[in-house]
Structure 1
Amino acid sequence: MRRAALGDIDAIVDLEETAFPADPWSSVLIEEAVAGLLPTTTFLVAEIAARWVGYAAVSVVQDVAELQRIATVVAARRTGVADALIDAVDAHAGERGAERLLLEVREANVAARALYAGAGFTEIARRPRYYRDGTDAIVLERSVRMTP
C-alpha cells in the first residue's frame, strides 16, 4: 500500500469508470485529489509484485474519516486486496486523528456490503435516492482501529 502518485491517475480513472459506471468521479477531480489540491482527500493504491491492483479514496475531517471510493481490478477481487485497502485507509485515518470511519454503499451491492460487514462496519442510516440513478445508499460506520 502506498499513497497515489501522479503516475497512477490514468489507472485510477480507468478503474473508476469500470467499477462505478453509473457515477464515476471525473478525471479532473481524481487528478486534483492525487496532486494534493483537495486537502482532506487522499488516494491510496495497492500493488502486488509491482502490479497495480486497486485504490481507495479517503477524506479525513477532524475526528471523522469517510471511505469515499474503493475498487480493485477484476483479477484481484476476493484475494484480500480490498481488506488491505480498508486497513490502509483505517491507518491513514487514525494517523490524522479520526475516531470514526464512515461510508455509503449502494443498497443492491451485496458483495460490497459483505466486504464491509466483514470489516466491522454497521448500518447507521439510509439515504433514499442517493445515487444518480435513484438507488438508495446505506450509511455504514465503524470505529477507527487505533494502532499502538
Structure 2
Amino acid sequence: MNESQPVTSTGVVLRQMTLADVPAVMEIERATFPRDAWSEGMLRGELADQPRTRHYVVAVLDGEIVGYAGLAAAGDQGDIQTIAVLERHRGTGIGGRMLRELLQEAERRQVDKVFLEVRADNPRARAVYTHFGFKEIGVRRGYYEDGTDAIMMMRKLNG
C-alpha cells in the first residue's frame, strides 16, 4: 500500500499505521482483546520492523481510527498478526477490507501461504476467514490466556 494513495470506499480510508497511531490502536486493542491484549511495547516493536517484515494498516473513518490490522511476512510465509475493529463498526466490511489489503501485501511480498490463529469461540471471525479462502489446519489447545483454544488456519496464495 502506498501511503500517498489510500484505499477508500464508503468513507473509510486504509493507510499505513504509524507510531502516532499507537494510543488510538491500543484503545481498540484493549477493548477488543481485554484478556489477551498486546502491550504498547509489543505494538511499537512490530512497527519498528515495518516495512522490512511487517505491514500494519489502520482504518480511518471521519478522522477516527476504527480498526487496525497487521501482517508479518518473511520468506514465502506470512502471518496475519491481528485484526480488530471497534465494536460499533463490526459487520460493516471494514475488517474484510483490511484483510484483503494484508493478503494483497502478502502477494506483493511473494508469500505462498498465509497463516493465522483465531479463537475457537469466535464463529463470526472464523466465518470471515473461511469466506476469504482460509482453511482450518489444526488446533492450539489452551492458546489464549483464558484457556480457549486457537483454530489455526491457512490460505495458499496464487501469485
Shared fold (TM-score, shorter chain, > 0.5): yes
Which residue identity lines up with residue 72 of structure 1 in the other structure?
A: V
Which residue identity lines up with residue 94 of structure 1 in the other structure?
A: E
Aligned mates of 2:66, 2:157 — CA distance in 1: 24
Query: SS at 1:12's partner residue?
Result: helix
Match of 1:12 in 2: 25
Match of 1:21 in 2: 34
Q: Are 1:32 and 1:38, in contact at CA under 8 Å, matched by a contact in 2?
A: no
Deviation at 1:141, TM superposition (A): 0.9
Identity of paired residues, percent?
34
2:134 corresponds to which of 121, 142, 145: 121
Q: Are 1:5 and 1:35, in contact at CA under 8 Å, matched by a contact in 2?
A: no
Deviations 1:97-138 (A, max 9, x none): 111111001111111111111111110111111112211111
The TM-score with structure 2 as length reference comes to 0.84
Flag structure 2 segments of 5+ consecutive residues without an equivalent: 1-13
What root-mean-square deviation, in Å, do the aligned CA atoms of Structure 1 and Structure 2 show?
1.7
The TM-score with structure 1 as length reference comes to 0.90
Match of 2:107 in 1: 94
Match of 1:42 in 2: 55
Query: SS at 1:89's partner residue?
Result: helix
Moved more, 40-49 or 114-123: 40-49
Query: SS at 1:138's partner residue?
Result: strand
Aligned mates of 1:39, 1:19 — CA distance in 2: 27
Q: Are 2:77 and 2:114, in contact at CA under 8 Å, matched by a contact in 1?
A: yes
Which residue identity lines up with residue 28 of structure 1 in the other structure?
A: G
- Are residues 1:82 and 2:98 paired? no
Flag structure 1 segments of 5+ consecutive residues without an equivalent: none
Aligned mates of 2:63, 2:158 — CA distance in 1: 28
Aligned mates of 1:104, 1:62 — CA distance in 2: 19
Residues 50-69 of structure 1 mapped to structure 2, 5 A cutoff: 50-69=63-82
Query: SS at 2:46's partner residue?
Result: helix
Deviations 1:63-88 (A, max 9, x none): 11100110001222111101100011
